[in-house]
Amino acid sequence: MSHWIIAPVVLPALLAPLLMLLVRNDLRAQRVLSMAGTLGFAALAALLLVQTAGGEISVYRLGNWPAPFGIVLVADRLATLMLALTAGLALAVLAHVLGTGWDARGRHFHALFQFQLMGLAGAFLTGDAFNLFVFFEVMLIASYGLMIHGGGRARLRAGVQYVVMNLAGSVLFLLALGTLYAVTGTLNMADMAVRIAELPPDEAGLLRVGAVLLLLVFAIKAALVPLQFWLPATYANAPGPVAALFAILTKVGVYAILRIYPLVFGADSIAGDIGPTLLLPAAGVTLLIGMGGVMGARDLGRMAAFAVIGSIGTLMLGVAVFSAAATGAALFYLIHSTLAAAAMFLVADLVQAERGNLTLQPGPRLTRHGLLAALFFTVAIGVAGMPPLPGFLGKLMILDATRLQPEAWAIWSLVLVGSLMAVIGLGRAGAALFWAVPREPAPASGKPFAWVGIAGLLSGLVALTVAAGPTSSWLNATSEAIYAPAPYIAAVLGNGVGQ
- Distance (Å, whole) CA 1 – CA 182: 32
Asked if 233 interacts with another protein (CB under 8 A), we say yes
Smallest gap, in angstroms, from Cβ of residue 411 to another protein? 30
- What length does the chain have? 499
Cβ closer to another protein: 3 or 153?
153
For the chain, percent helix, then strand, then coil, each to nearest 5? 75, 5, 20
Smallest gap, in angstroms, from Cβ of residue 112 to another protein? 12
Residues 6+ apart with CB under 8 A from 239: 102, 105, 146, 149, 150, 155, 349
Kindly identify the residues of this chain, within the stretch 176-195, that bind another protein according to CB under 8 A.
177-179, 181-182, 187
Smallest gap, in angstroms, from Cβ of residue 83 to another protein? 24
Q: Please identify which residue in 65, 229, 435, 449 interacts with another protein, judged by CB under 8 A.
A: 229
Cβ closer to another protein: 162 or 322?
162
Smallest gap, in angstroms, from Cβ of residue 168 to another protein? 6
Kindly identify the residues of this chain, within the stretch 149-178, that bind another protein according to CB under 8 A.
151-154, 156-161, 163-164, 167-168, 170-171, 174-175, 177-178
Per-residue contact string for residues 368-407; x = within reach of another protein by CB under 8 A:
----------------------------------------
Torsion of CA 167, 173, 179, 185, to 10 degrees: -130
Write the DSSP assignment of 468-494 as a string of letters: HHHHHHHHHHHHHHHH--HHHHHHHHT
Per-residue contact string for residues 291-330; x = within reach of another protein by CB under 8 A:
-------xx-xx----------------------------
Contact 416, 385 (CB under 8 A): no
Residues 6+ apart with CB under 8 A from 59: 1, 5, 67, 72, 73, 74, 75, 127, 491, 492, 494
Q: Please identify which residue in 134, 216, 278, 396 interacts with another protein, judged by CB under 8 A.
A: 134
Asked if 497 interacts with another protein (CB under 8 A), we say no
Cβ closer to another protein: 109 or 322?
109
Smallest gap, in angstroms, from Cβ of residue 302 to another protein? 5
What's the per-residue H, E or C state across 337-390? HHHHHHHHHHHHHHHHHHHCCCECCCCCCCCCHHHHHHHHHHHHHHHHCCCCCC
Asked if 427 interacts with another protein (CB under 8 A), we say no
- Distance (Å, whole) CA 146 – CA 167: 16
Contact 4, 47 (CB under 8 A): yes
Contact 102, 151 (CB under 8 A): no
**Stretch near another protein under the rule CB under 8 A, chosen from 3-11, 141-149, 190-198, 467-475:** 141-149
Q: Please identify which residue in 56, 197, 226, 357 interacts with another protein, judged by CB under 8 A.
A: 357
Cα R_g (the chain), whole angstroms = 22
- Distance (Å, whole) CA 351 – CA 367: 10
- Distance (Å, whole) CA 296 – CA 291: 9
Cβ closer to another protein: 317 or 429?
429
Smallest gap, in angstroms, from Cβ of residue 118 to another protein? 15
Cβ closer to another protein: 220 or 321?
220
Determine the size of the site formed for another protein (CB under 8 A): 43
CA angle 345, 216, 237 (to 5 degrees): 25
Binding site for another protein (CB under 8 A): 130, 134, 137, 141, 144, 148, 151-154, 156-161, 163-164, 167-168, 170-171, 174-175, 177-179, 181-182, 187, 229-230, 232-233, 236-237, 298-299, 301-302, 352, 357-358
